[in-house]
Chain A
Amino acid sequence: MHIPDGFISPSTSITALALAAPLWWYGMKKAKELLDSHEDAVTFLSSMAAFSFLIMMINIPIPGGTSGHAIGMAVLAILLGPWAAFIAISAVLFFQAVLFGDGGILALGANSLAMGFVGSFGSYYFYRLLHNRTSQSLALFVAGYGGMVLASVAIALILGIQPMLFMEDGKALYFPFGLDVTIPAVVGSHMLIFGVIEGFVTVAVVRFFEKIKRVASA
């Protein structure tokens, strides 16, 4: 789901950066509040960001010669709140782009908005909607699944509008496949496989931390 540089136009990248900038600013303030709230917060926030970094490295192959990975967006959004989750995922995406060439640097705004903002807030509100209304495991699963699918919709839209906007002599200047291709390919694979994986990861990891928290407070 990491959009590399050159796959979307500079104008798309800059628009996304301009949209992301105030959200990053506000999110940093919220993350700082969390960091100052108690002594262990920095350890917990950093560990959750590291968790997101690590789980994104675990590529899972699927039929059709492609692969994908979980993101941990719902885990972070539920345990840290959506703003801190957005900042943590954005920071991870920044390091992935700058150090490892995974996702573009100019495309950081677009990737952060999709995986960080849409994913975290989507997951968070799915969870809020279902929490205490269904079983906890179902609420967690839907949070992970729903956030992931929403993030994939955002990525599919950003990529798919490129050939609608930027053509020259009948050739695409950037990503050449339109929405008719990106929606089934990106959203479809996330609805069928990666959303499900994200859902199970969310259940397992949040339940683990709920358990150790209870042990710690007991």
Chain B
Amino acid sequence: MRKEIVIFLIIMLVLTPFGLISEYPAWGEWGIEEFRGLVGYIPAGMQNAGIQAPIPDYEFGGMNSIFSTLISAMIGIVASFGFFLALKHIKTKQR
């Protein structure tokens, strides 16, 4: 079954750059400046909210967006495995 899972993940990985076709964000997930255009002001609570992510929008500055997307996708795969491997490990330690 492992071989099929690897093939499955590779197919999914190769499909991720197709997400770049969409130029628009999800409904509501606009940048704060866009709210000025929509309602005439930027809601006070939205300003300076959140942190600057290391890889904003899955894009590495200056890198081709298809490569950026693929590398981000690979980071996602590694993080997913890291999380559950860690969770499994914690259990064995407790016993």
Contact = CB atoms under 8 A, between A and B. Distances in A.
Interface stretch (A40-48, A132-140, A143-151): A40-48
B24 A65 contact: yes
Interface in B56-95: 56-58, 69, 72-73, 75-77, 79-81, 83-85, 87-88, 90-91
Nearest to B70: A57
B53 A99 contact: yes
A100 B55 contact: yes
Contacts, number: 190
Dominant secondary structure at the B interface: helix
B45 A9 contact: yes
Given A61-B21, A173-B43, A174-B45, A105 B4 contact: no
A187 B63 CA distance: 35
Contact of A35 (B26, B27, B53, B91): B91
Given A47-B8, A50-B81, A185-B28, A58 B43 contact: no
Contacts of A92: 76, 80
A98 B54 CA distance: 8
B84 to A, nearest CB: 4
7 contacts: A6-B45, A36-B91, A61-B22, A96-B76, A99-B53, A100-B55, A176-B38
Considering the complex of A and B, which 4 residue pairs feature the smallest CB-CB distances, nearest first? A6-B49, A101-B53, A5-B50, A53-B76
